[in-house]
Amino acid sequence: MIGTDLTIARQWLEAGNVVGIPTETVYGLAGNALNDEAVLTIFRVKNRPAFDPLIVHTDSLDKIRGLVRDLPPVAEQLARTCWPGPLTLLLPKRDHVPDLTTSGLDTVAVRIPDHPLTLALLKSLDFPLAAPSANPFGYISPTTAQHVADQLGDQVPYILDGGPCPVGVESTIIGFDEAGRAVVYRLGGMALEQLEAITGPLRVQTSSSNPQEQAHPQAPGMLTSHYAPRKPLTLLADGEVPAALGTLPAEQFANSVGALVFSSTLPGIPEANQLVLSPNGDVLEAARHLFAYLRRLDTLPVTQLYAQLVPDEGLGRAINDRLRRAAA
């Protein structure tokens, strides 16, 4: 059931069940992060491998201090500047945070999401919420309550409807290396440029070509193939046109191809088969539309999908990261 009743959401969560929740980035599949049963339900409903740890959400820095052993000065500075907001920090966990939640890692991923309904919900609970994106593992993340209902509705008793997600891509993930330096493990809703204004130049380590690390990634958002539509997807650089344009008869080409483009349509493909992320060329608007349009692209009556990369700045980096993984 989809609704806006915080009391119903709270009651399901207090009973150890899972609830779909809105955040500024994407919808989450939430459960009590400190309750093994609830956490197991999250993994089961998502069909998520047990080695892929969950992000724990709370509504205050004080509550975060109760979950982590240490908050290094740079982490505290990031927290104070970016929270509530689309940033996740990897920090050493306290003993009472279940190993199931962190997949046995010594660190826990924490964030304060910036959504009024979910902040109110978190405030009313006496436990934090573990919440991965509310999609089946490997598929496109949901940015509306209906997306959650479409894919997981029969397994989730309640989905809290907070409208379409205003950011549209998942949180940026930052961890700390042995020397305590901040490292970006996932590009996301908090732009690199904004983070670097706080921390100075950041190392970005968002993919690995090492097959062993692929099997047990530091942050499995790093898995190369992710966010994938069900039809084959090919990427296009700015100004590039699909290779099949010119090799196939024009009409056959036009009717077999769908495209996700940044600000203007491509030649040779019917307008009805093209989705424009941002007619004004605004990467924030493009990020907001990205996942909903990828879903629509996947339902077009065509056999081959194309997606155009966007300018590699601000949230454009996160968009391009998701497109590359969707095409992998």
| Identity at 15, one-letter amino acid code | A
Size of the site for ligand TXA (CB under 6 A): 27
Q: Which does 258 bind (CB under 5 to 8 A by kind): Mg ion, ligand TXA, none?
A: none
Site for ligand TXA in 54-83 (CB under 6 A): 54-55
- Closest by CA position to 45, among listed 121, 132, 128, 129: 132
Site for Mg ion in 133-152 (CB under 5 A): 133
Closest approach of Mg ion to the CB of residue 65, in Å: 26
Per CB under 6 A, the list member of 221, 229, 258, 314 interacting with ligand TXA is 221
Q: In this structure, what token pair is assigned to residue 35?
A: 């309750």
Residue 239 makes CB contacts below 8 A (sequence gap 6+) with none
Give 244: exposed, middle or buried? Use CB within 10 Å, 0-12, 13-18, 19+.
Answer: middle
Strand order in the sheet with 257-261: 233-236, 304-308, 257-261, 274-276
Closest approach of Mg ion to the CB of residue 227, in Å: 8
Residue 220 found at the interface with ligand TXA (CB under 6 A): yes
Residue 170 found at the interface with ligand TXA (CB under 6 A): yes
Closest approach of ligand TXA to the CB of residue 173, in Å: 6
The pattern of x and - marking residues 12 through 51 that bind ligand TXA according to CB under 6 A reads: -----------x-xx-x-----------------------
User: Which residue, 100 or 261, has its beta carbon nearer to ligand TXA?
Assistant: 100
Per CB under 6 A, the list member of 19, 129, 190, 219 interacting with ligand TXA is 219
Residue 301 makes CB contacts below 8 A (sequence gap 6+) with none
In our burial notation (b when 16+ CB lie closer than 10 A, e otherwise), range 259-277 reads: bbbbbebbebbeeebbbbb
User: Which residue, 133 or 171, has its beta carbon nearer to Mg ion?
Assistant: 133
User: Which residue, 17 or 133, has its beta carbon nearer to Mg ion?
Assistant: 133
The pattern of x and - marking residues 89 through 128 that bind ligand TXA according to CB under 6 A reads: -x-----------x--x-xxx---x---------------
Contact yes or no for 157/17 (Cβ under 8 A) = yes
User: Which residue, 225 or 264, has its beta carbon nearer to ligand TXA?
Assistant: 225
Q: In this structure, what token pair is assigned to residue 185?
A: 């493990």
How many whole angstroms separate alpha carbon 55 and alpha carbon 89? 9
Contact yes or no for 261/241 (Cβ under 8 A) = no
Binding positions for ligand TXA, rule: CB under 6 A: 23, 25-26, 28, 52-55, 86, 88, 90, 102, 105, 107-109, 113, 131-133, 170-171, 173, 218-221
